[in-house]
């Protein structure tokens, strides 16, 4: 039994355009007593300006939806477009399947001249799958399969996973990690990729041959299908296997758990060129694996258009906070906030997500310098390892209680989270007006 939305755990519905208002009626029809029976849905990456109450976080912005009841998520993403996703935000329920892609199209996409194809078929989700429910997890959960677009191969039940492409066309692949735990290093055998979007934010085109993607992160990459007609491996390589990226065999999704490999075509999917035989790649994916020569480095990502200039020194914001052991923070309106987040916590590197905002990463993991001029803007960042002190900045321009948490879902359930109470007086005024309206 799995928890799903609209009888699927992939794409929500279509591709709405920039400025489209949403009215999504969530009807709780969960009946399996082995699952969590209440639920709520978070629209990951959507700022919910003035609609904090539909951010979908159980016990923070709403009460869970009980069985046979409904909740209507009415919101407008305003000027947001790009690659987002949805998932349950109740306990670890999204690990049981309630997760998927949520795309908002921009008809005036400034990168539109770089690709020919961008549709439901070019959305790629990467996930972990467990052969037990989150309600029956062991003390240290370990996943059994890696899913590429909801499918996987594993020894006792192999399954074909393929994406069809046409020769000499340029494809915008929207890569979304809907993982509960592992990060992946993604690559496509024999092909380079051009990164054009990071979590709803356009970036200057950056060519890479592999990229590390953490839980809840998203990238749009352009891939030119200009190689000889064949079947190629697409790779999502987990922590600890960074050397195994490029072979001319297909798509890879190797998780970071010890003992995982590409034998028996496990953790693989196929990028199928039109005209190629409908078979698996014939090259052994476990041998002659070259090292990536153009891996994505976060500090090489820069906004397509200049962002607001930062105060050019550390601790130069209006509010400066070192996040170590904090449960609740209160911040006034229209202030610049700088968070420094030390790495090295057990179970890392940890990807942290801020609701209601995108933030500037002025210091990235693996780097001891700062970029106050052209930092990448995103909503999930890895805080790295023990020597790291990742630093982000954002503005308190969106009133409400906003969750800030690790997106390794098991860690969130264990308490790796903070609530930011932003512009509390405005929230109280709007709450009183709403109560008066409903009275």
CA dihedral 319→324→327→333, nearest 10 degrees, is 10
321 is catalytic: no
Catalytic residue among 87, 111, 191, 272: 87
42 is catalytic: yes
Catalytic residue among 262, 408, 418, 420: 408
63 is catalytic: no
User: Any residues with CB less than 8 A from the CB of 291 and at least 6 apart, and which?
Assistant: 243, 245
Q: Which of 137, 15, 162 is nearest to 83 (CA)?
A: 15
302 is catalytic: no
Q: Is the backbone peptide bond immediately before 349 cis, with ω within 30 degrees of 0?
A: yes
- The residue with tokens 């998932």 is 87
β partners of residue 422: 331, 400
131 is catalytic: no
357 is catalytic: no
CB 135 within 8 A of CB 88: no
Strand, helix or coil at 311?
Answer: coil
- The residue with tokens 């693989």 is 268
CB 384 within 8 A of CB 334: no
Catalytic residue among 84, 394, 411, 418: 411
Catalytic residue among 355, 359, 383, 404: 355
Catalytic residue among 111, 191, 272, 350: 350
Catalytic residue among 353, 359, 394, 418: 353
Catalytic residue among 148, 406, 418, 420: 406
191 is catalytic: no
Catalytic residue among 89, 111, 191, 357: 89
Catalytic residue among 44, 111, 191, 272: 44
416 is catalytic: yes
407 is catalytic: yes
Q: Which of 64, 4, 72, 71 is nearest to 32 (CA)?
A: 4
Q: What is d(CA 372, CA 363) in angstroms, rounded to the nearest whole number?
A: 9
| DSSP 8-class letter at 410 | H
Q: What is d(CA 41, CA 64) in angstroms, rounded to the nearest whole number?
A: 9
Catalytic residue among 196, 394, 405, 418: 405
Beta strands per DSSP E along 30-165:
41-44, 70-76, 82-88, 99-104, 123-129, 145-148, 162-165
Q: What is d(CA 24, CA 333) in angstroms, rounded to the nearest whole number?
A: 29
Catalytic residue among 111, 272, 357, 407: 407
350 is catalytic: yes
Neighbours of 288 (CB within 10 A): 11
Catalytic residue among 42, 191, 272, 357: 42
272 is catalytic: no
Residues catalogued as catalytic:
42, 44, 87, 89, 350, 353, 355, 405-408, 411, 416
């Amino acid at each position: 039994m799995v928890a799903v939305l609209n009888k699927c755990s992939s794409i929500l519905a279509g591709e709405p355009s920039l400025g489209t208002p949403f009215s999504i009626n969530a009807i709780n029809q969960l009946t399996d007593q082995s699952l969590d029976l209440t639920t709520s849905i978070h629209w990951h990456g959507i700022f919910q300006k003035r609609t904090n109450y539909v951010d979908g976080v159980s016990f923070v912005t709403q009460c869970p939806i009980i069985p046979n009841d409904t909740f209507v998520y009415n919101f407008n993403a305003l000027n947001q477009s790009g690659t987002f996703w949805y998932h349950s935000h109740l306990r670890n329920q999204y690990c049981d399947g309630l997760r998927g892609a949520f795309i908002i199209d921009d008809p005036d996409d400034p990168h539109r001249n770089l690709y020919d194809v961008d549709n439901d078929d070019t959305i790629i989700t990467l996930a972990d799958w467990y052969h037990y429910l989150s309600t029956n997890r062991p003390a240290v959960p370990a996943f059994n399969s890696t899913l590429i677009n909801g499918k996987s191969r594993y020894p006792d039940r192999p399954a074909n996973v393929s994406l069809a492409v046409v020769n000499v066309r340029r494809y915008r692949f929207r890569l979304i990690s809907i993982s509960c735990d592992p990060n992946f290093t993604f690559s496509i055998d024999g092909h380079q990729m051009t990164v054009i979007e990071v979590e709803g934010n356009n970036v200057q085109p950056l060519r890479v041959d592999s990229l590390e993607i953490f839980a809840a992160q998203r990238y749009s990459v352009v891939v030119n299908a200009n190689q000889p007609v064949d079947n190629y491996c697409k790779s999502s390589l987990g922590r600890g296997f960074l050397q195994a990226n490029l072979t001319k065999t297909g798509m890879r999704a190797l998780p970071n758990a010890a003992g995982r490999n590409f034998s028996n075509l496990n953790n693989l999917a196929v990028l199928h060129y039109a005209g190629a035989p409908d078979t698996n790649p014939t090259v052994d994916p476990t041998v002659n694996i070259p090292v990536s020569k153009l891996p994505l480095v976060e500090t090489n990502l820069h906004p397509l258009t200049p962002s607001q200039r930062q105060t050019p020194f550390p601790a130069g914001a209006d509010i400066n906070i070192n996040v170590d052991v904090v449960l609740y923070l209160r911040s006034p309106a229209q202030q610049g906030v700088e968070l420094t987040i030390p790495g090295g916590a057990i179970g890392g590197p940890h990807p942290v997500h801020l609701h209601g905002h995108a933030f500037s990463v002025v210091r990235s993991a693996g780097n001891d310098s700062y970029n106050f001029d052209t930092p990448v803007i995103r909503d999930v960042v890895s805080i790295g390892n023990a020597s790291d002190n990742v630093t982000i900045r954002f503005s308190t321009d969106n009133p409400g209680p906003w969750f800030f948490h690790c997106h390794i879902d098991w860690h969130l359930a264990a308490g790796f989270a903070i609530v930011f109470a932003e512009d509390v007086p405005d929230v109280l005024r709007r709450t009183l007006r709403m109560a008066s309206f409903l009275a």
